[in-house]
């Protein structure tokens, strides 16, 4: 059975790259660039969320808060190009909100790093 990946990132090119790579690694992928589209696409079939922390409309920390309020049980990978401390702080916050963190990706990341995260979640 193919797993579903949901990506939210304001960078269209990165979304396309992740979607193409995810399909090669055996995942279906839906990408979104806005919070409204993200929440519309967040169904029980989604097995993993890739969430960018730095977006113009609503940042990833706000999104994590909304996911916590909705008691989202889908594992989340946070992504950012702003530094490891920011990623680690977001992971800590997400866990205090009751969310499951499956890891993080420091932008720019290698496709092998994305593959490792997807493989880890597939085996969980």
Instruction: Give the tens place of pLDDT for each residue, 63-74.
Output: 999 999 999 999
Instruction: Give the tens place of pLDDT for each residue, 33-91.
Output: 999 999 999 999 999 999 999 999 899 999 999 999 999 999 999 999 988 899 999 99
Predicted TM-score of the model (pTM): 0.96
Q: Which domain holds residue 95?
A: 3-123
Q: What is the CATH number for 26?
A: 3.40.50.2300
Contact between 56 and 35 (Cβ < 8 Å): no
Distance CA 37, CA 53 (A): 16
Task: Tell which residue, 64, 83, 85, 84, has the closest CA to residue 75.
Answer: 64
**What's the total number of domains in the chain?**
1
């Amino acid at each position: 059975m193919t797993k579903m990946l949901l990506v939210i990132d304001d960078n269209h090119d990165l979304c396309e790259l992740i979607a193409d790579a995810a399909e090669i690694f055996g995942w279906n992928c839906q990408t979104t660039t806005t919070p409204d589209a993200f929440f519309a696409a967040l169904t029980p079939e989604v097995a993993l969320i890739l969430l960018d922390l730095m977006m113009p409309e609503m940042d990833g920390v706000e999104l994590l808060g909304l996911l916590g309020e909705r008691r989202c049980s889908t594992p989340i990978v946070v992504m950012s190009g702003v530094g490891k401390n920011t990623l680690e702080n977001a992971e800590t916050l997400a866990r205090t909100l009751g969310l499951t963190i499956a890891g993080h990706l420091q932008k720019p990341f290698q496709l092998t790093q994305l593959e490792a995260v997807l493989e880890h979640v597939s085996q969980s």
